[in-house]
């Protein structure tokens, strides 16, 4: 069996949210994990723990930070210091804690829309105000629109949650765009939480540049949050890192948020992450080839078979942000495909209230499954 060779009965037997949210006649293509396995070094690391029955308090001091530093250096030529890293369970926890540390209730946080839904919650559930900064489809790709905020800045804005590569649009911003973001954050005196969890999943032609690597000035106000869970398909192991671009930033965070309040990743998450980052790239290269083939097939098939649906080719992520407004479906496009195609997408309106005409499709699935998903969608549109 190759790394991407899982059939539907095997996948459906998985005890995962992806395969259990919807009834059995629905094919899921929603939550962002992959219908593949994990890298052999990850299996070996977890097997070692099981074989040794070794679940006492784990001696892994600094192991995660060191693996993060090696990975950032080898993959993105970004040189980080172990002292600037905090281990945490997941990026949602990271965003909540950062918002609570660097703003006060009633102050505002800027966020590009469409957005990964928990980032909106990190702002709203903590009593901050969300400043929506919608992206624009320029006919070729989705673009940041910083100008509209420049024209009407909010004096209570303290932070920006920035997602790069962007979920759900799949944008991998280039250096020019990122330099504009950095200048924008400095100009408006914003602390930036930079979600870079999709950094490893960038297709040929694109490149990932860590925001904090641009200059010491932007680093000093940037908290980079990332994890191996997305690229190495281990989200249930709950392991992530926060990197503070300057010691003062971390000191402020730790003063505001007691570190023991946040817990710490389990040894299974730490060992799997270190194994993935250090030894998992051959497996990930194989996965990336499959993802690229899926992406290209998906884009071509949508263009040919789904008139009324527009996809701007994702440069990164295994997520396709489908603009279904041309179908002129009343209400939610996601609901339409769930009801009529028996395909479970993420509903666009969960990424921002203005997006009911959109849906997010996860194409990290074996090619036969993807063909079945899209085939069902094509049939549903034709049979309207």
**Interface with its own copies by CB under 8 A: which residues?**
14-21, 31, 33-34, 37-38, 43, 46-47, 49-50, 52-60, 88-90, 92-93, 96-97, 100, 118, 121-122, 125-126, 233-239, 258, 260-269, 272
How many whole angstroms separate alpha carbon 30 and alpha carbon 17? 10
How many whole angstroms separate alpha carbon 240 and alpha carbon 276? 13
How many whole angstroms separate alpha carbon 147 and alpha carbon 173? 16
**Residue 46 Cβ, how far from its own copies at the closest point, in Å?**
5
Interstrand relation of 142-143 and 136-137 (parallel, antiparallel or unpaired):
antiparallel
Interstrand relation of 191-195 and 222-226 (parallel, antiparallel or unpaired):
parallel
**Residue 61 Cβ, how far from its own copies at the closest point, in Å?**
8
Comparison of 159 and 380: residue with beta carbon closer to its own copies: 159
Comparison of 262 and 378: residue with beta carbon closer to its own copies: 262
Q: What are the DSSP calls for 107-172, one per residue? A: -EEEEEES--HHHHHHHHTTTPEEEEEE-EE-SSSEE--HHHHHHS--TTEEEEEEESS-TTT---
**Residue 260 Cβ, how far from its own copies at the closest point, in Å?**
5
Comparison of 22 and 76: residue with beta carbon closer to its own copies: 22
**Residue 136 Cβ, how far from its own copies at the closest point, in Å?**
29
> Which residue has 């000035």 as its token pair?
217
Comparison of 66 and 220: residue with beta carbon closer to its own copies: 66
Please measure the distance between the N-terminal and C-terminal CA atoms of the chain and give it in whole angstroms.
Answer: 39
Strand partners, 344: 28
Comparison of 89 and 210: residue with beta carbon closer to its own copies: 89
**Residue 278 Cβ, how far from its own copies at the closest point, in Å?**
16
CB 351 within 8 A of CB 114: yes
**Residue 126 Cβ, how far from its own copies at the closest point, in Å?**
6
**Residue 15 Cβ, how far from its own copies at the closest point, in Å?**
5
**Residue 375 Cβ, how far from its own copies at the closest point, in Å?**
24
How many whole angstroms separate alpha carbon 186 and alpha carbon 221? 8
Cis peptide before 165 (omega within 30 of 0): yes
**Residue 164 Cβ, how far from its own copies at the closest point, in Å?**
21
Comparison of 159 and 272: residue with beta carbon closer to its own copies: 272
Residues in the chain: 384
Comparison of 32 and 324: residue with beta carbon closer to its own copies: 32
Separation in Å, CA 21 to CA 228, 278, 330: 24, 33, 24
Comparison of 91 and 316: residue with beta carbon closer to its own copies: 91
Comparison of 98 and 381: residue with beta carbon closer to its own copies: 98
How many whole angstroms separate alpha carbon 83 and alpha carbon 96? 21
How many whole angstroms separate alpha carbon 130 and alpha carbon 148? 15
């Amino acid at each position: 069996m190759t790394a991407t060779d899982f059939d539907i009965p095997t996948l459906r037997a998985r005890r995962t949210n992806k395969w259990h949210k919807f009834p059995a006649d629905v094919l899921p293509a929603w939550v962002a994990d992959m219908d593949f396995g994990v890298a052999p070094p990850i299996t070996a690391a977890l097997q070692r723990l099981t074989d040794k029955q070794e679940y006492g308090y784990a001696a892994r001091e600094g192991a995660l930070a060191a693996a993060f530093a090696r990975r950032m250096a080898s993959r993105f030529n970004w040189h980080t210091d172990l002292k600037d890293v905090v281990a945490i369970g997941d990026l949602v926890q990271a965003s909540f804690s950062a918002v609570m540390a660097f703003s006060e209730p009633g102050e505002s946080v800027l966020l590009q829309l469409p957005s990964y839904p928990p980032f909106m919650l990190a702002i709203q559930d903590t009593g901050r105000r969300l400043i929506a900064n919608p992206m624009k489809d320029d006919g070729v790709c989705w673009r940041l629109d910083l100008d509209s905020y420049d024209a009407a800045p909010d004096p209570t804005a303290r932070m920006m949650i920035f997602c790069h590569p962007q979920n759900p649009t799949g944008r991998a911003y280039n250096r020019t765009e990122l330099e504009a973001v950095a200048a924008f954050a400095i100009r408006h005196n914003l602390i930036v939480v930079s979600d870079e969890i999709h950094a490893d999943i960038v297709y040929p032609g694109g490149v990932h540049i860590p925001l904090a690597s641009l200059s010491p000035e932007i680093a000093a106000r940037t908290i980079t949050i990332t994890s191996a869970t997305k690229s190495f398909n281990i989200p249930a192991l709950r392991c992530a890192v926060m990197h503070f671009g300057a010691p003062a930033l971390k000191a402020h965070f730790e003063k505001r948020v007691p570190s023991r309040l946040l817990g710490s990743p389990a040894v299974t998450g730490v060992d799997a992450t270190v194994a993935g980052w250090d030894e998992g790239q051959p497996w990930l290269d194989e996965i990336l080839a499959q993802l690229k083939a899926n992406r290209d097939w998906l884009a071509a098939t949508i263009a040919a078979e789904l008139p009324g649906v527009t996809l701007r080719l994702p440069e990164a992520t295994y997520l396709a942000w489908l603009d279904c407004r041309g179908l002129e479906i009343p209400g939610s496009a996601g609901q339409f495909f769930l009801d009529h195609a028996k395909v479970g997408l993420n509903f666009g309106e969960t990424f921002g209230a203005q997006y009911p005409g959109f849906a997010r499709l996860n194409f990290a699935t074996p090619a036969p499954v993807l063909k079945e998903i899209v085939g069902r969608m094509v049939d549903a549109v034709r049979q309207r």
